[in-house]
Chains A and B, each alone.
Chain A
Amino acid sequence: MTAHVKMDAPDRRNRLDAMAQGVIGEPLDRSEGALKVSGKAVYAHEWPVEGLCHAVLVRAAISRGTVTRIDKAPVEAMDGVLAVIDDDRLLRNPAQGTANKAPVQGPRKIFYIGQPLAVVVAESFEQARHAAQQLVVETEAADAVLDPEAETLEHERPKGKQTSQGDLDQAMGAAAFSIDEVYRTPGHSSAPMEPHAAIASWDGDRLTVRASCQMLKYNRNELADALGIKPENVRILAPYVGGGFGSKLGIAHDAVAASIAARAVGRPVALALSRRQVFETTMRRSESRQRVRLAADAEGRLTGIGHAALVSQLPGEKFSEPVTQATHFLYAAKNREIVHEIVRLNLTCAGSVRAPGEAIGMTVLETAMDELAIKAGIDPVELRKRNIPETDPEGDKPFSSHMLASALDRGAKLFDWQRRNPVPRSTRDGEWLIGLGMSSAARVNMLAEAEAIVTLSAGGVRIESDMTDIGTGTYTVLAQVAAEMLGQPMQSVTTVLGDTDLPPGPGSGGSWGASSTGSAVFAACEDIRKCLAEKLGCVEEELTLKDGHAVTANRRVPLAELLADGPISVRGVIEPGKTSKEVRQSTFGAFFAEVAVNEVTAEVRVRRMLGVFAAGRILNAKTARSQCLGGMTFGIGMALTEELIHDPRTGAIVNRDFAEYHLPVNADVPQLEVDFLEERDPWASPIQAKGIGELGISGAAASINNAIFNACGVRVRDYPATLDKILAGL
C-alpha cells in the first residue's frame, strides 16, 4: 500500500495536534542515545569486516598542473603494500549535494593543492600511511589562479541569480541615511568530528559500502556513476554519521577510492581521510566579498537594498555559495540590486557548509543593518521591525508565515535589550568592555520528496527509510511522529535508517530531513489509521489511538487484536507541490548577544547569547534546541575564530588541523539560550514543521560582531573578528 501526498495545498488540519499519545514535540531523549554514550553505535570505519586491508590517499603538492609520472615500483615493493592505484575514476572533488551523478574525475590534471592523485593499499594502516608518504609523484606545474580579488579575473554572472528592481543609485543619492560598505568572510570548513571514511567490499558485481554520508539516495547514484556500474549493484550503509554539516552531502573520495581499491586487490578495503585531507579535499565554504548598499528615509524605512557578492569555485563546478539567498525577501525596499559573481580558482572545491548562503549572507547583511541603525540613530530591533515586508518584495508572493517581528520582540524582552546603552564603550567590567548586539535570522524553507515504510504490527511500529541521522535527531523525531499518530509508547517504535535498500528519503541537508521524511511517515500513518478505522467501522477522525489501544465511541480495543490477521504496512510518499511555489517559505528568528572585549588585548568572549526561532511545529523540543545550540556555536566560530588561511603563493590551506583552524571549544561557549515560538506552518508540510538545522547559524555571527561594536566602538568588516582586527581601533 502506498499513501502519496503531494503538497499542493496548505494542510490546516493540524492532525498531529488531534492525537492522544502526547509525545509529539516533547523533549524526549534520543532513541539511539544509549548506543552513542556507551560507544556501541557503529560508524563507517568501525564495521567488523573479514580480511580488511587499508588504503591511504596521496595528495597533490602543487596547485595546478599535470601528473607526468608516478613511480609506483618502489612503493609496491614496500612491506605489506598490496597496490598503488591511480585509476582514472578517482574523484577530483566530492559531488555537490543532490548532484545524483559523479563529479569531475581524473587524477592526472591537478586543480588544487591537496587533490588526491593516487591511493596506496596495504595490509595495515601503518604500512599504507608510510607507503603513501613515500610515493613520488612527478608533476609539471602550471600557473595557478589563487586570489579571488585579482583584478584580471573574469567574473561570471549567472543569469537568474541577478536581481534589479527600480533604481538603487537614485535611492542611494536621495537617502536620508545610507550605508555603502564592503565586507569579507573567509573560507570555512564543515569539520565534522568524524572524518570521511568508507569500507568497501565486493561480492561479485555487487558492492557494499559502509560510509559516512548525508544523502544516500543520491550517493548511491553518484557512486555507481563514478565507478561505471549500475546503481542496483550498490548498497550504502550509514546508520550512524559523525556529523556532516554539508561536507558529506555528495559522494566523496573515501567511498570511491575504497571501492576501486577493493576491486583491485580483491579484498574489502577501509579508507578514512586524515583530518588534513578533510580540510584539503572535502568541501570548503567559499570566501566572499560582499558589497552592501542600504538607503533609508528619515524614519529608517529602506528605500534601497544592494547586495553584491563575489565567491569562488573550481573550474567546472556548478555550485556557488548562494550568498544573497535571504536578501531577496528579508526586508522591503522598492529599489533593489542583487548581484552574484563567481571567479574560478585553484583552491579546494567550494560546496555546502551549514546553511550555504544565509550563514555568511545574512551575517553580512545584518552587520550592515547595524551600521545603518547606528547612523540613523534608531534602535537596531526597531529598524528591522520597520522594514519587514508584507509580501515577498520581489514578486508580491505572500509569505507562508512570517514570524520575524514576533521573534524580535520576544528576544528583546527575554534578553532585556532595553538595558543596552547605544553608546559604545559605555559599559565596563574591569579590563573588559561590555556590549550588546542583535541580528535577524532567516533561512529559506524547503520540502523534498521522501519515502518511508511504516509497519504496524502487534509488537509495535517499524519505520524504514534510507534517511540519515547525522546528529539531527531523525531516529527520535520520526519515531515521535509515528508514536503520536499510531498511539504507541516510544519504546514500541523501531526506526531503521541509513541503508539504500530501504525507501529513499531526501537525506540530511538543506534542513529538510525531518519535515520531509517526517511527512512521509505521517502520510503512511494516516493510511494505517484509516485501515484501523475501517476495521472498527468508524471514520479515521473518530479514532483515538493511545498506548497500543484503539478507542472509538465506547469501545477500547487492543491494537494487537485488530492486527491479529497480520501487520499493516504502508509506504508513505511526500512530494513537494504548489505550496513550494505559491508562497515564500522561510524560517525566521532573532539573535541577541552580549560580549566582552578586553581593553588590553582585544580578546573577545561571548558572555550570553539568545536565539529565538520560529520553524513551524517543533517535533522534539530537546533535539531541536540542540540543533539551534549547534548553529549558534557555529556562529560564534564564524564571528570570532574560524578562517581557512591560504598560503598566498600556493593556495595551500596552512591551518589544516584542529590546532590552528579554531573551532570554538567548550570554554568559548557560554550557556546559550534558545526559545521557540509556537507556530504551525500549513504550507510547509502536512506536519506543519519546517527546517531547523541551519536557522541557528543564519545571521548569528552578526549579533556578536554588532555587540563588539557596541562594546568598544570598533567595526570589523572582515570576518572573523580576531583580536588583531580590533586591537588597531582600541
Chain B
Amino acid sequence: MRPFDYVRPSGLPEATRQARAEGSAFIAGGTNLLDLMKLEVMAPTRLVDINRLDLAECASLPIGGLRIGALVTNSDLAADERVRRDYPLLSRALLAGASGQLRNKATTGGNLLQRTRCYYFYDTSAPCNKREPGSGCSAIGGATRLHAILGASDHCIATHPSDMAVAMQALDAGVEIETVEGITRSVPLSDFYRLPGDTPHIETVLEPGDLITGVVLPAPVKATQIYRKVRDRASYAFALVSAAAVVAVENGTIGSAALAFGGVAPRPWRNHHAELMLAGERPSEKLFEAFADEVLGEARGQGGNDFKIPLLRRTIIATLKQATEESQ
C-alpha cells in the first residue's frame, strides 16, 4: 500500500473538490478498495473519507419509490422493511453476496463500483488492460472460469461481481451523482456501466470527482421478484451466474418481465430487446427457451467458462418458470 493523504471532508462540495485531483479516491466501506490497495492494484495518493457525510438514509419518495443513500450499508439495505416488502429481490441479492461482516461495511455506492475479481486484474505482475491500459489481457488464453460470456471485448473479458447491482438493474434503478460543479444528475443504471471495448479501464460514466450520492428505485410494481445465484460453494462465493427476475403474470399472460444477469458480463446484463418477446405471451417452456436463446445469442465462451452458457440458459428457464408460476 502506497502512502496517501487522508482527508475527511465536511460536506459534499468539499468532498467532490478534494476527489477531483488525479490519484484521489473516495473511501466508504473500503472493503474492496483497501483489498486492492494492499496489493497495489489500486494506489490512490489521496483518500477522501466520505463516511461521515449525510448519505446513510433510505427515504420513501413522495411519488413512490425509494431513494437509497450511497452510504447505506448492504446489511441495512437488505433489512430495510420497505426493501423487504417492495423490493424483495434486492434483499435477496444483497443477502446472497459476501458475508455478514462485509455486508456491514460495504455500502450501496461502493458496491456499484466494486472491481472485477479477474485473477489477472489482481496480479500486478501480469498484463491487464483494466489495470494498465495497453498492457494486454492475460485472461484471454489463461484461466477463465470467472470470466464473461457476454459483452466482453478482445481487450478485456472481466465480469462485474456485484449481486446488488444485478437486482437493481432488473428494478430499473437510477444512480444519483453529485458532480464537482455541484450539479446532481441522475443516470439510469442501465447506462451507468460502460462495456470494455478498447478502454476497459473506464468502467462507468463517472467523471473525476463525481460522487454517487444515492440510488433511486422507482415505485414498486405488482410482480413476482426472484434472485437466483449459482456459485461454487453454498455461501461466501461470487456468482458463476445469477439471474434477477421481476415478472408479472395477469390472466394467464405475462404482463411485464424484467430480467438481469450477473457473473456473465462486464456489467449487470440486461437485454431489453429479448424481454419484448415475453410481454403478452403465455408462459411456456418453449417461450423461456426462446428468451434464453435470444439473451445468449451473442454469448461466447473462452474455454474455461464455456459452461456458463448452458448454465445461464438453464438458470434463466428455471427462474422464469418459477417466477411465472408464483405470479399466477
Contact = CB atoms under 8 A, between A and B. Distances in A.
A126 B38 CA distance: 9
B314 interface: yes
Interface in A416-474: 431
B26 interface: no
Contacts of A647: 119, 138, 142-143
A129 B38 contact: yes
Interface string B104-147: 00000000000001011011111000000000001001110110
A601 B311 contact: yes
A551 B2 CA distance: 70
A727 B234 contact: no
Interface string A262-291: 000000000000000000000000000000
Interface residues of A, number: 37
Contact of A724 (B120, B141, B237, B311): B311
A719 to B, nearest CB: 14
Contact of A655 (B119, B125, B230, B236): B119
Contact of B311 (A659, A667, A723): A723
A126 B141 CA distance: 35
The dominant DSSP class at the A interface is loop
A662 B232 contact: yes
Given A126-B1, A727-B311, A654 B238 contact: no
A652 B38 contact: no
Interface in B304-319: 307, 310-311, 314-315, 317-318
A646 B2 CA distance: 29
Given A605-B234, A668-B233, A649 B314 contact: no
Interface string B227-248: 0001111111110100000000
A603 interface: yes
Contacts of A648: 141-143
A657 B36 CA distance: 13
Nearest to B1: A130
B117 A603 contact: no
B141 A601 contact: no
A664 B2 CA distance: 34
A530 B31 CA distance: 63
A659 B238 contact: yes
Interface string B290-328: 000000000000000001001100110110000000000
A665 B233 contact: yes
Contact of A600 (B125, B231, B318): B318
A660 B126 CA distance: 18
Contacts of B125: 61
Interface residues of B, number: 36
B3 A130 contact: yes
Interface in B202-244: 230-238, 240
B230 A601 contact: yes
A579 interface: no
B120 A654 contact: yes
A133 interface: yes
Interface in A612-652: 640-641, 645-650, 652
A665 B236 contact: yes
A695 B172 CA distance: 54
A66 interface: no
A554 interface: no
Contacts of A665: 233-237
B230 A666 contact: no
A722 interface: yes
Interface of B: 1-3, 38, 40, 117, 119-120, 122-126, 138, 141-143, 145-146, 230-238, 240, 307, 310-311, 314-315, 317-318
Interface of A: 61, 79, 126, 129-130, 133, 431, 600-603, 605, 640-641, 645-650, 652, 654-655, 657, 659-660, 662, 664-668, 722-724, 727-728
Given A667-B233, A667-B234, A727-B311, 10 more contacts: A600-B315, A601-B314, A601-B315, A645-B145, A648-B142, A650-B126, A665-B234, A665-B236, A723-B240, A724-B311
7 contacts: A130-B1, A133-B40, A133-B124, A603-B230, A659-B117, A662-B233, A667-B235
